[in-house]
Amino acid sequence: MNKNFNEMSFDELKCYRREVLWRSLGLLLVIILVITGMVFMDVNHVSPSNQNRFRGIGLTTVIALFGYLKPLMAANRVMRDHPDWVKKSGFGAKIPLPMAWHVKRLCVLGASLLVIGVGFVSSYKPQVPQTNLQDQVDIIQLDHDLEREQKFDQVLDTITPDDKKSK
C-alpha cells in the first residue's frame, strides 16, 4: 500500500479510513484523560505551577497525536470526491488492516498514555489546606516554646561560658 491515495482502490481507502477511525478514538481517549487530569488537579488544589506543567504536557501530546492523524486524512478526502465508489464497492471493507498498523498504533497510543500518566503522577501533589484552628494554635505554641528554649540556652551560655564549666 505504498501508492498515492488517488491511485488506490476503494477497499484500500477503506483500510486507511478505518485506521483514521482507530487513531481518532485513541486521540479522543488521550484528550479525555488530559481533561480529567486537569479537573482532578483543579478540584484537589494542586499548585498552579504543577497544573500548568501538566497542561503543557497534555497539550503537547495532543498536538503530536494530531500530527500522527493528519497524513491519513487525505484518504477521507479522496473518498468524499468519489461517492460513486460507495455504490460499487459497498460500505464494508474486504481487506483486513495489516498487523503492523495495529502494532504501530498501540505503540504510539501506549507511549502517549504513558507520558500523560507519568506527567500526572509527577505533577499531582495536592496542597492540604489547614482548616483546623486548634492545630494552627498548637503549631504556633510549639514554635514559641522552641524559641523560648533556644533563648534560654543562649542566656545560660553567656552566663556560664564553656571554659568556666570545665574548670
Q: Which residue has the higher pLDDT, 158 or 51?
A: 51
- HEC string of 34-95 equals HHHHHHHHHHCCECHHHHHHHHHHHHHHHHHHHHHHHHHHHHHHHHHHCCHHHHHHCCCCCC
Q: Are residues 34 and 91 in the same domain?
A: yes
Q: Are residues 75 and 99 in the same domain?
A: yes
Average pLDDT, the chain: 81
The rounded distance, in Å, linking the Cα atoms of 38 and 57 is 11
Q: Are residues 143 and 115 in the same domain?
A: no
Per-residue pLDDT tens digits for 70-88: 777 777 777 777 777 666 6
Helical axes 10-43 vs 99-123, angle rounded to 10°: 10
Is 125:43 a contact under the CB 8 Å cutoff?
Answer: no
Residue 41 structural domain: 5-129
Per-residue pLDDT tens digits for 11-39: 777 788 788 888 889 999 999 999 999 99
Question: Is residue 1 over pLDDT 60?
Answer: no
